[in-house]
Amino acid sequence: MPKKRHNARYSKPQSTAPASLSSSSARNHASRNDHERPSVNQLLASLRRTRLNGDTSQPSISVADLTAPSVPPQIRVILSLPETPAPSPVRRPRLLPRFDARGVRLPPGPPPPRSWLALSRHAPRLQTSGLASETCEQRRLLPALYTPGVGSLTDMLLRKIALDWAFQRSYNVYYLHVLPDRLRMALVSYVTVIHESGLSLSDLKLIFLPQAPENADDGERDDRDDNNDGGGYGPLPSPSSLNEAITHLDLSTSIGKSLNLRELSHLLFPSSSSSSLSKAHDSPVAESWDAADLPTVPRPLLPNLTHLSLAANSETRPLNSWKQLLGIAPHLRNLTHLSLAFWPLPTLTPNSTYSKLVTPQGQTVQAGGTNPYSHSLDDDWSEAILVLRKLSESMYGLEYLDLTGCTAWFTALTASRDGDRIDWVGAWGKISHLVLHTGYGSQRPEDGNCVGAASEGGRNGELMASVNTARRIEKDIRTRRAGRGRFITVERDQVET
């Protein structure tokens, strides 16, 4: 029996979709979900917007945690994206400045190795120079003398110039006199102490006198002098005009070693040269005195000199001459500050202390004014008083007198011999500061380099005796003045009683 055929158009649909239809529908659903899900950039942008708007409902996220790349400003404007906040600055640990033992701030960075400082060829000479070290013959600077700070650039330059003075004096021969006035005064002080040979007369000429070039002939000099217009050099000013601002002259330890007072007097106070006198005699006789070309008296090299240091040390102490000092003293009437530290006993015949003469009558007399027993046994200070009186009559403008290390003749300052004594009321009535230090400083007794150094017991006894003598001198001077002179202060060593 034949089978019945059914029409497929009216058949019941399948309960499951075909494989082809199921795969296509899944792809369409996934693509629709991908379009609806926000991207990573959108999520980061929403987080930034939430953080900037202060919305606390959403979890906060730190800017540092965002790894999104930066967006150019044009694209940020198109997409309405907020500005990316700048990252917070990184706080580095603060390094405290380092200071040395003197309180000077050290340069940044690690300190130099010790080997650099210990093995440096310049370290020993720069550190042990006379300006920085304190010895028994401690160098006392003149009041108000310009001294650059220790370790400063000016201090190092002046020290270097003083150490290489033999080279500097020949290489910079035409430029030393053009230095500023206060640097020239400081340079003299540095050279006289640091330079081994001291300061000589030629060195003072290089610093205070202009040096003409040796290769310049007379024609060039005449052309330069005759050219007085604005573009020419014109005549050079006189040395006295160039040194009007020089007020301090520190010649410590140079007098007697490389310079004597007679040479210094000829340099500071020149007299009329013989050439000018001969020229005046050879010139024809003028019709009147007004038309005559008379020689002029030259001005002093340092017309405003007020502070002078002639301090000595153990080497130059016996070489200082009171006779030469009395010869230059009349020219120093404007002097207000004088240092005679470590000078010997005031005498005009230092080599005749132990000499004797035989008179025609056969009597033996002392050759000099002072014998070995004049002070210890006879208490005779007549020659010392005479020398100091002559000095006071010439330097009557002194206000400051430094006699450090002159303990051997402190007694002569107030001693009297047959009514003759130093006039502390008239001639030296302006002195208001008198320095009577023993001069031991910080040197130890066992070093044996101090002036009059002895054992510790003898040194302490001499120190106490000098301090008591200084107190008595101060009291005696104040009693003599009694309101007729300035009030005087005697500076002395401080000892524990």
Is 466 a domain residue? Answer: no
CA distance 451 to 411: 18
- pLDDT band at residue 138 under the 50/70/90 scheme: very low
Cα dihedral across residues 64, 67, 69, 74: positive or negative: negative
Q: Is the pLDDT of residue 220 over 80?
A: no
- pLDDT band at residue 97 under the 50/70/90 scheme: low
Is 292 a domain residue? Answer: no
Q: Is the pLDDT of residue 14 over 80?
A: no
Provide the domain count of the chain.
1
| Residues 6 or more apart in contact with residue 162 via CB below 8 angstroms | 187, 190, 191, 193, 194, 195
3-state secondary structure of 401: strand
- pLDDT band at residue 159 under the 50/70/90 scheme: very high
Is 189 a domain residue? Answer: yes
CA distance 448 to 454: 7
| Residues 6 or more apart in contact with residue 107 via CB below 8 angstroms | none
Question: Which of the residue ranges 92-101, 251-260, 451-460 would you say has the lowest mean pLDDT?
Answer: 451-460
- In this predicted structure, what is the pLDDT of residue 35? 58
List 366's β-bridge partners, or say none: 356
Q: Which residue has the tokens 């006289």?
A: 192
**pLDDT tens, position by position, 391-413:** 999 999 999 999 998 988 999 99
Q: Is 383 within 8 Å of 346 (Cβ atoms)?
A: yes
DSSP 8-state symbol, 324: H
Q: Is 326 within 8 Å of 347 (Cβ atoms)?
A: no
3-state secondary structure of 51: helix
- In this predicted structure, what is the pLDDT of residue 18? 57
CA distance 232 to 234: 6
**pLDDT tens, position by position, 232-259:** 444 566 888 889 999 999 998 899 888 9
Average pLDDT, the chain: 75
Is 121 a domain residue? Answer: no
Instruction: Go through the chain and tell me how many residues it has.
Output: 497
CA distance 245 to 306: 11
CA distance 65 to 48: 11
Of 74, 69, 9, whose CA–CA distance to 45 is shortest? 69
Range of the domain at 206: 137-212+240-270+299-307
Is 412 a domain residue? Answer: no
Q: Which residue has the higher pLDDT, 211 or 200?
A: 200
- pLDDT band at residue 453 under the 50/70/90 scheme: very low
Which of 195-199, 369-373, 392-396 is predicted most confidently? 392-396
Query: How many percent of the chain have pLDDT more than 90?
Result: 30
- In this predicted structure, what is the pLDDT of residue 374? 72
3-state secondary structure 243-294: CCCCCEEECCCCECCCECHHHHHHHHCCCCCHHHHHHHHHCCCCCCCCCCCC
- pLDDT band at residue 149 under the 50/70/90 scheme: confident
Q: Is the pLDDT of residue 208 over 90?
A: yes
Q: CB 18: neighbour CB atoms within 10 A?
A: 9
Query: What helix, strand, coil percent values describe the chain, rounded to 5?
Result: 40, 5, 55
CA distance 466 to 408: 9
Is 55 a domain residue? Answer: no
CA distance 86 to 95: 26
Average pLDDT of the segment spanning 72-87: 81
3-state secondary structure 423-460: CCCCCCCCCCEEECCCCCCCCCHHHCCCCCCCCHHHHH
**pLDDT tens, position by position, 46-73:** 887 776 565 444 444 444 444 556 788 8
Which of 138-142, 146-150, 355-359 is predicted most confidently? 146-150
- Please state the pTM of the whole predicted model: 0.65
| Residues 6 or more apart in contact with residue 239 via CB below 8 angstroms | 208, 209, 210, 301
Is 324 a domain residue? Answer: no
Is 44 a domain residue? Answer: no
CA distance 176 to 408: 40
Q: Is 334 within 8 Å of 364 (Cβ atoms)?
A: no
Report the first-to-last Cα separation within the chain, whole angstroms.
Answer: 158
Q: Which residue has the tokens 């020949």?
A: 170
Q: Is the pLDDT of residue 450 over 80?
A: no
